[in-house]
Structure 1
Amino acid sequence: MIPSFGETTGPDGQESRFGPVWRLAAANDADQIAMLHADSWRRHYRGAYADSFLDGDVAADRRSVWSARLAAPANSETVLAERDGRLVGFVHVVFDDDPVWGSFVDNLHVVHDQRRTGIGTQLLGRAARAVSERASGNGMYLWVLQQNTAAQQFYRDCGATCVETAPVSPPGGDPARLNGTPSGLRMAWPDVARMSHLLDGC
């Protein structure tokens, strides 16, 4: 998922003064990815997912998911952004996931103190470039909670269009973990080749 278009790392893989180090995730990255994922859910999914899940099971739930996902990658790629050896963001994309909408950006998260630094935009751009190189189609999409208006605006600023709204599946497959049934918006990019404003920043 990370060819270089304006790469911020040198040939030795070290961080330049312009940004973080970018690399593909490996199986031993599952724990730190899970911790960032859990922290992001706890900060942004209150009111959609039950507090009992967010405050209790979510870290173990995400650790199980990421351990399995990275142990046996299946037509997918996960890119990490690091500063000084610390994980500051990641994106996970599943290629050719949907026959209509294309490849699925299943996760994109940035640590709280690094938000609005451009990392999220660059991660999304790297996902788009990976889709253009590895997927059979050029479409890309993701789901965002209806309550997460800041994320919706971010994706719109990155060129996405909301194409539909649907109920969100309960985390862990347990309906009792939901405070009601939240809604999600499908945000789509029909052709990643048109995302030049993102690719130029990566």
Structure 2
Amino acid sequence: MITVIRPGDVRDAGAVAGLHADSWRTAYTGLVPEEALGDGLAAERRMIWELRLAADYGGPEYTPDLLIAERAGAVAGFAYLVPQPDGRVLLDNLHVRPGLTGGGIGRELLDAARALVARRHPGAVLYLEVLRANTRAIAFYERAGGLRTAAGEGVFPGGFTLPEYEYSWPAAGPAGQPWS
């Protein structure tokens, strides 16, 4: 099946929020406190995505990018990239609709994210943070060439903290390929 990767905007907030909540419930059950995945998750994600996608970030160098993966006209996944003051770009979210994982959508989104960073932020390192207990995601990032570059604690909505790793991809060339 063909995946279309396109830029997202505020009109995608509802679809992204729903997918985000479903993905959290699937991927994070048993990894995060149960209350973080409860009844209020979908509404919280909706509010966050509406705010994120409607915000004015004061210029393109700091404006986040939302990439939407569509299959058969439906949102199948998304990636959210946030430029950081240190010159790196945080891949703050990479989620694929539950039931569609393992089919290449995540890799297509990651490749599109790397290519976008190479175009919009030449020389920038792309990085993300992943729960240490999320072994499935860690295996995916390592297969995709991610390098473990740090370890720390992540603070989550609700105030709980969990151990996590940072994975990075070196600055990429215009086609998304690492500089040699």
TM-score by length of 2: 0.88
CA contact (8 A) 1:159 1:195 kept: no
Please report the RMSD computed on the Cα atoms of aligned residues, expressed in angstroms: 1.9
Query: Counterparts of 2:29 and 2:148 in 1: how far apart (Å)?
Result: 22
Q: Which runs of 5+ in 1 are unaligned?
A: 1-17, 198-202
How far residue 168 of structure 1 moved from its aligned partner, in angstroms, is 1.1
Aligned: 1:158 with 2:140: no
- The separation in 2 between residues aligned to 1:71 and 1:35, in whole angstroms, is 17
Q: Quote the Cα distance in structure 2 between the aligned partners of 1:186 and 1:153.
A: 13
Q: CA deviation at 1:77?
A: 0.7
**1:140: how far off?**
0.7
Q: What are the Cα deviations for residues 72-127 of structure 1, in whole angstroms up to 9, with x where unaligned? A: 253111111112221101111112x1526x11101000012211111110100111
Q: Greater helix share, 1 or 2?
A: 1
Q: What pairs with 1:101-180 in structure 2 (closer than 5 Å)?
A: 102-171=88-157, 174-175=158-159, 178=160
Report if the CA contact (8 A) 1:98-1:104 is conserved: no
Q: Deviations along 1:36-58, whole A, 9 cap, x unmatched?
A: 00111111112332212202221
| 1:81 equivalent in structure 2 | 69
TM-score by length of structure 1 reads 0.79
Match of 1:65 among 30, 43, 48: 48
Q: CA deviation digits over 1:10-38, x for unaligned, max 9?
A: xxxxxxxx512222112121011001001
Aligned pairs for 1:83-98 (under 5 A) are 83-95=71-83, 97-98=84-85
Who is 1:196 aligned against? 177
Structure 1 partner of 2:164: 184
The answer as to whether partners of 2:122 and 2:171 remain within 8 angstroms in 1 is no
Q: How does 1:41-60 map to 2 (within 5 A)?
A: 41-60=24-43
Partner of 1:14 in structure 2? none
Count matched residues.
172
* Offset of residue 136 of structure 1: 4.6
Give 5+ residue unaligned stretches, structure 2.
Answer: 58-62
Instruction: State the partner residue of 2:20.
Output: 37
- Which structure ranks higher in relative contact order (CA pairs < 8 Å, sequence separation ≥ 6)? 1
Q: Once the two structures are superposed, what CA deviation does each residue of 1:55-79 show, in whole Å capped at 9, x if it has no partner?
A: 2221111111100111125311111
Give the Cα separation in 2 of the matches to 1:187 and 1:64: 28
For 2:164 and 2:14, how far apart are their aligned partners in 1?
Answer: 27
Name whichever of 48-57 and 150-159 sits farther off: 48-57
8 Å contact 1:93–1:103 — kept in the other structure? Answer: yes
State how far apart, in whole Å, the 2-side matches of 1:81 and 1:168 are: 27
